[in-house]
Amino acid sequence: MKQYTRPLAIETSGLTKTFGTHTAVDGIDLTVPASTVYGVLGPNGAGKTTTVRMLATLLRPDGGEARVFGHDVHQDAGAVRARIGLTGQYASLDEDLTGTENLMLLGRLLGHGKPAARQRAEQLLDVFALTDAASRQVKNYSGGMRRRIDIAASLIRTPDLLFLDEPTTGLDPRSRSQVWDVVRAVVAQGTTVLLTTQYLEEADQLADRIAVIDRGRLIAEGTPGQLKAGIGSGALRVRLRDAAERDAAARILAAALGGAVQRDADPVALTARTSLTGQGTAPAEQASRALAELAHAGIAVDEFSLGRPSLDEVFLTLTDRSTQEAAA
């Protein structure tokens, strides 16, 4: 059993949700320490959003238990709602109102007087670098600005736990980086963040721990470093001189290293994991032998590197393994 020095923000055991004959969440166990970023990673349809909706009291679990800061999400839903904020995949603001008007409206609905609501709106607009756009209608905001003000709306009342459900979907790299800065600032103030995402880099950049979910089941959990170490101690990346030789090179690397080889987006690039032969050979020696095999076959390599597996490789390996187990 894991031991945590911090209090727990979320604790679930056997959490389950079904829709008709489809099991969306299948017995998930989570343990999320307070004041951290906890990433929930998975492909479309994995059960990430359904899990968030249950934890945020928007869906009733069909089985198992879930507690937020010790409060049961079903039996004590009011106490849970008092301590959480939620930013979903789509903006929840009135696009015909300005940034200031939206935040003031939410502040008034949460019980603030008009001066206090305006003060909080101005404060959040400043923190999220939206002061220059405060008087513009939200429908005229860029995608990155919309996501920032949507997160700001979740912080009118500073929550102890903030759910961010794929907050950067569809954003360009610059806007995504701005949202990451916002998340880091929120956590620095003591808020726990549960972040669902499909972006591997996002989880790697932000999360203290990551849960990988596929087909409604938890298939791996740990720090980014632990997940990377779990699939092999090295990754050999090569760039070939001729893209036409990639299939032949992939077969040679698979035979030499004893595992699957990933064809990267670059048409001349391949990535293969080392330490999969079970023969106790060091990763560097395995890589050296594999490169020698390529040279012997007359396949020219322009570049190569040996390093730790990326989170992308972890994800592809784990979800492929999950698919194979489901088929079996």
Q: Name beta bridge partners: 17.
A: 25
Query: Do 76 and 68 meet the contact criterion of CB atoms below 8 Å apart?
Result: no
Residues in the chain with pLDDT < 70?
1-6, 89-91, 230-233, 275-282, 308-313, 315-317, 319-328
Residue 84, pLDDT score:
94
Query: Residue with structure tokens 């015909």?
Result: 96
- What are the φ and ψ backbone dihedral angles of 239, each rounded to 5 degrees? -120, 125
Dist CA 326 CA 219 (whole Å):
12
pTM of structure: 0.72
Dist CA 92 CA 154 (whole Å):
10
The pairing of beta strand 84-87 with beta strand 234-240 = unpaired
Q: Measuring CA to CA, which residue among 213, 222, 279 is closest to residue 44?
A: 213
Helix (H) or strand (E) holding 120: helix 114-127
Residue 131, pLDDT score:
94
Residue 232, pLDDT score:
56
Q: Name beta bridge partners: 235.
A: 273, 307
CB within 8 A of 196, min separation 6: which ones?
39, 40, 41, 42, 48, 49, 51, 52, 163, 164, 165, 166
263: left (phi over 0), alpha (psi -120 to 50) or beta: beta
Largest CA distance in the chain: 77
> H/E/C letters for each residue in 54-102?
HHCCCCCCCEEEEEECCEECCCCHHHHHCCEEEECCCCCCCCCCEHHHH
The pairing of beta strand 8-19 with beta strand 301-307 = unpaired
